Amino acid sequence: MKHQYVFGRRMRGVVSLEYALLLLLGILPLILATFSGVLIFAAQQSLSLAAAEGARASLRYGTTAERRAAACMAARESMDWLLEYASQSPDCSNAAASPITVSQPFACVGSADRQCMRVTVSYDYDHHPFIPGTGRLYGWTIGTPLSSVATAQLDLGE
């Protein structure tokens, strides 16, 4: 009996240690991966909204430069939290620079007599991951910057 008592005394706290290791090596990484995945999804949704808002803003009447600036400003406002996190401040007077690019008017696909404008927004997750270390974790699945594109058919008042 004495041997069993010594064995039980030595094993005291092992279950607590196992739970601590399970938490650190199993559950915590799973929670971090899930949380960062949710943030990536939110970023992609923000980019989709920003591109759509930019394309919608390009429909305002004005010169091409005014349309491009309005599209850039609308996209910038919609993705403000991403730009702030990445410490980026796009110059909407030059709407051809990343992370927000607004094309010059071009002939729409399928209707050469119509003009379209394309708004492209992007976020480089590899250089600005939401949780440190997850850039490498998701690098093999994402690989390229997150982006979204929206195209608007311009009403040129014809």
More reliable by pLDDT, 141 or 107: 107
Instruction: Identify whether the C-beta of residue 135 lies closer than 8 Å to the C-beta of residue 127.
Output: yes
Write out pLDDT tens, residues 73-102: 999 999 999 999 889 988 888 777 789 999
Output the pLDDT for position 7. Answer: 54
Residue 10, burial from CB neighbour count under 10 angstroms (0-12, 13-18, 19+): exposed
Binned at pLDDT 50, 70 and 90, residue 19 comes out as confident
* DSSP secondary structure code for residue 115 in this structure: E
User: How would you class 114 by CB atoms within 10 Å of its CB: exposed for 0-12, middle for 13-18, buried for 19 or more?
Assistant: middle
What pLDDT, on the 0 to 100 scale, is given for residue 127? 80
Domain boundaries along the sequence of the chain: 11-154
Report the distance separating Cα 51 and Cα 147, nearest Å. 9
- Greater confidence (149 vs 22) lies with 149
pLDDT attached to residue 31: 84
Separation of alpha carbons 107 and 28, rounded Å? 52
Determine the distance from the C-alpha atom of residue 77 to the mean position of all C-alpha atoms in its chain, rounded to a whole number.
14
Distance CA 67, CA 61 (A): 7
Q: What is the mean pLDDT of the chain?
A: 83
